[in-house]
Amino acid sequence: MHVSSQDEFALIARLTRSLASHSDVLLGVGDDCAVLDLNADTLLLATCDSQVEGVHFTLQTASPEEIGRKALAVNLSDIAAMGGTPRFALVSLILPSHFSLPTLDGIYAGLQREAELFSTLIVGGNVSGAGKSAQLAIDITLLGTADRGHVLTRSGAHIGDVLCVTGHPGDSAAGLHTLLHPLASSEPALDAAGETKPPLAYSEPALSTVRTAHRTPHPRVREGQLLAQLGPEIVTSLLDISDGLSGDLVHICERSHVGARVEVAALPFSPSILTIAVEAQYDPLLWTLHGGEDYELLFTVSPAHLQHVRDLIQNTTGTPVTPIGTILPASDGLQLLFPDNHIEPMPVKSWNHLAQ
């Protein structure tokens, strides 16, 4: 029986089923961060996430600096997903022995750049050699702080709350698609029947936009902090979209014991994703619902406060906030409302890091 026979979440549940609990641990395994109480003014948040060569990135499709930036960004996003403030990072590298030193310098420069952007200090780490054919792994633990009473989790969504999302989920998956499926030429061409075929290169600036979303996602730290300041009575649940909107919505529903309906017509498709979707002949709904690595925030708001929350985030940060659905009773499950008003169960196709 191999680990690849289990999905990531089943495996984590299996490994952590008998962990001890303690009053210092306000939240352990199962949310974006652990929440720890060290009798300080603030609570301590702790999270870790890895980026593995060939699984999460390749040196062919991203620059060393971009790889370094993203390795920290995915952790910053976990702190953002609790409404916390990132503070200290520990960087652990598993290094193939023949890894290029200038490339490693570039990765580290990207890490430091991202750390500076988010006022985070790299305070420690480790370097372990691995074999010649090993894959580079960048494993980062990020520590943050959060005010008592202002930590947002996955577990507080109520029936009737409005489901909201920041930014334009799906752009990252569209960017990945363009990297995995480049078009052959920049010239349009005629097919055998004399009809114009689709263009053979993705258009700029849409291409740059979606590739940037994939290579250097912008963790929504400030947005998360603003949501947390409003408190859990107003913003009832929060997480970041790392596995895909559908898969991460499942986490909110499971933890909050609710269901949800997402309205397709309300989803915030960016102009760029629509352009790329036409050129790739691909349904952008699949990218937006099931594409991973957006690192946008998905959250629920009590309906009376929706306008205030939207205005606050958008006016303070410039980041769009879009209401995309409603929280339902758990018995309703996850639903997708189409523009013609028919409803289907929402398929959940989470990014499974173990199957890569």
Residue type, 21: S
CB of 110 to a second copy, least distance (A): 12
Pairing relationship of beta strands 34-36 and 25-27 according to DSSP bridges: antiparallel
Residue 171 identity (one-letter amino acid): D
Which residues are registered as beta bridge partners of 345?
Answer: 335
Q: Which of 158, 308, 160, 313 is nearest to 222 (CA)?
A: 313
Q: How far is the CB of 265 from a second copy (least distance, A)?
A: 36
- Evaluate the omega torsion of the peptide bond into residue 86 and state whether it is cis, within 30 degrees of 0: no
Tell me whether residue 124 or residue 198 sits nearer to a second copy (CB atom): 124
Minimum Å gap between C-beta 62 and a second copy is: 17
CB 81 within 8 A of CB 125: no
Strands 334-337 and 258-263: parallel
CA angle (230, 253, 262) in 5-degree steps: 85
Q: Which DSSP helix (H) or strand (E) runs through 146?
A: strand 137-147
Min dist. Cβ of residue 105 to a second copy (A): 7
> Shortest Cβ distance from residue 298 to a second copy (Å)?
20
Q: What end-to-end distance do the CA atoms of the chain give, in Å?
A: 17
Q: Minimum Å distance from CB 68 to a second copy?
A: 11
CB crowding 114-130: b at 16 or more within 10 Å, else e: bbeebebebeebeeeee
Contact assessment for residue 59 and residue 212, using Cβ atoms and an 8 Å cutoff: no
Measured from the CB atom, the residue of 136 and 321 that comes closer to a second copy is: 136
Residues 6+ apart with CB under 8 A from 271: 206
d(CA 218, CA 76): 9
- Closest CB to a second copy among 20 and 180? 20
Give least dist CB 95 to a second copy, A. Answer: 5
* Shortest distance in whole angstroms from residue 102 CB to a second copy: 7
d(CA 79, CA 146): 9
Give whichever of 105 and 283 is closer to a second copy, judged by the CB atom.
105
Closest to a second copy by CB, 98 vs 342, is 98
Residue 355 C-beta: closest distance to a second copy, Å: 7
Report yes or no: 220 and 296 within 8 Å, Cβ to Cβ. Answer: yes
Decide whether 129 or 329 has the Cβ nearer to a second copy: 129
Closer to a second copy by CB, 139 or 248: give it. Answer: 139
SS3 call for 307:
helix
Residue closer to a second copy (CB basis): 38 or 190 = 38
When the beta carbons of 61 and 322 are compared against a second copy, the nearer one is 61
